[in-house]
Amino acid sequence: QMLKVFVTRRIPQEGMKILKKAGMCNLSVWDSDEPVPRAELLKGVADAHGLLCLLSDKIDAEVLNAAGPNLKVISTLSVGFDHLEGRLYNLNGCTIFLHPRGIRVGYTPDVLTDATAELTVALLLATARRLPEGVEEVKNGGWSTWKPLWLCGYGLSGSTVGVIGLGRIGLAIARRLKPFGVKRLLYTGRQPKPQAQEVDGEYVPLDTLVRESDFVVVSCSLAPDTQSLCDKTFFSKMKKTSIFINTSRGAVVNQEDLFEALSSGQIAAAGLDVTTPEPLPTSHPLLTLKNCVVLPHIGSATYSTRGVMSALTANNLLAGLTGSEMPSELKL
């Protein structure tokens, strides 16, 4: 019996090959680079046994109801899972709404850790050393001569870096930053992590991290306790010379408060790979600021990483359909 699978986007061929080769899926694909419209998602998922989705698809009770009782597995092409119903788990850290229905969830941890950490370092350096501004000046004729006081920024050597959320990606970021001569590596999170030893990480209260860091790097997942974590109070504690980097989820930040902090000189600069909403409208106030570098959510965007993510997402889906062990099952 063929099992119906709905794929919400054109994805790297690696995953499609695996799904086709398995020979058990009746594949229906939203074959576009643009997100599936809500109505098409609700239609496409009807009677499906499996759903392969992206972080831009909001999967909530309406989608599950549209799918009906066949649905066994949701496999997302992402490590983040906050799009699977806004509030995924309660603060005790248990059960998500999918489990009562017996729906298993696959995701893609580990395989994008290196790519995302690299992008975070690139964004941090680009923001601190003002690369986009410099490139712009070269193009628009603003580069008149070598000037001692022009386009100066901040360096990592001798600095204090604070990582909010020293998980897989946070640790990979810390590992990469340390060799730049970082003096102190602070981190915060729900509990201290033994693996922090490797980077001489000091577990400190959030307040200490925010006050003492020259670079504040957000690498936590979006959850009820991290939503709008970076707000007016948070930015007011940062040094005027410090830099804020976020490559996790936009909703961890109150963007109005960030705009205020950047435009008033309360903090030096910000580099964001994630925003709310995504895409950020081109008229957004943050985009008028020279000291804000915004990227279009490309943390995991290397050819090879996206290929491996695609394959893993397909394999998670197949395992969910056949009731076998998933390579990466989300268990909370």
Q: Hey, which residues are catalytic here?
A: 297
Site for ligand GLV in 105-134 (CB under 6 A): 112
Question: How many residues form the binding site for ligand GLV (CB under 6 A)?
Answer: 7
Say which amino acid occupies 287. L
The binder of ligand GLV chosen from 3, 19, 79, 286 (CB under 6 A): 79
Site for ligand GLV in 177-216 (CB under 6 A): none
Tell me the sheet residues that pair with 29.
7
Site for ligand GLV in 27-56 (CB under 6 A): 55
* Angle formed by the axes of helices 113-128 and 131-140, nearest 10°: 60
The binder of ligand GLV chosen from 80, 132, 153, 327 (CB under 6 A): 80
Answer yes or no whether residue 310 interacts with ligand GLV by CB under 6 A: no
Task: Choose between 110 and 207: whose C-beta lies nearer to ligand GLV.
Answer: 110
Nearest residue to the partner ligand GLV, using Cβ: 80
**Inter-residue contact 313 to 52 (CB < 8 Å):** yes
Could you give the CA distance from residue 238 to residue 147 in angstroms, rounded to a whole number? 29
- From 76, 2, 83, select the one nearest 317 (Cα to Cα): 76
All residues at 6 or more sequence positions from 296 whose CB lies less than 8 Å from its CB, including other chains: 273, 278, 279
Task: Choose between 39 and 149: whose C-beta lies nearer to ligand GLV.
Answer: 149
Cβ neighbourhood burial of 307 (10 Å; 0-12, 13-18, 19+): middle
* Angle formed by the axes of helices 303-322 and 13-22, nearest 10°: 20
Answer yes or no whether residue 170 interacts with ligand GLV by CB under 6 A: no
Could you give the CA distance from residue 53 to residue 275 in angstroms, rounded to a whole number? 20
Task: Choose between 112 and 238: whose C-beta lies nearer to ligand GLV.
Answer: 112
* Rounded (to 5) percent helix, strand, coil in the chain: 35, 15, 45
Nearest approach, Cβ of residue 187 and ligand GLV (Å): 20
Task: Choose between 160 and 275: whose C-beta lies nearer to ligand GLV.
Answer: 275
Query: Candidates 35-43, 72-80, 198-206, 225-233 — which segment interacts with ligand GLV by CB under 6 A?
Result: 72-80
Nearest approach, Cβ of residue 284 and ligand GLV (Å): 20
In terms of residues, how long is the chain? Answer: 332
- From 311, 323, 300, select the one nearest 79 (Cα to Cα): 300
Task: Choose between 112 and 196: whose C-beta lies nearer to ligand GLV.
Answer: 112
Segments in 23-60 forming alpha helices (H): 38-44
- From residue 274 to residue 303, the character string flagging contacts with ligand GLV as x (rule: CB under 6 A) and all else as - is -------------------------xx---
The binder of ligand GLV chosen from 8, 75, 78, 242 (CB under 6 A): 78
Answer yes or no whether residue 59 interacts with ligand GLV by CB under 6 A: no
Task: Choose between 164 and 204: whose C-beta lies nearer to ligand GLV.
Answer: 164
Q: What are the φ and ψ backbone dihedral angles of 80, each rounded to 5 degrees?
A: -75, 150
Q: Which residues contact ligand GLV (rule: CB under 6 A)?
A: 55, 78-80, 112, 299-300
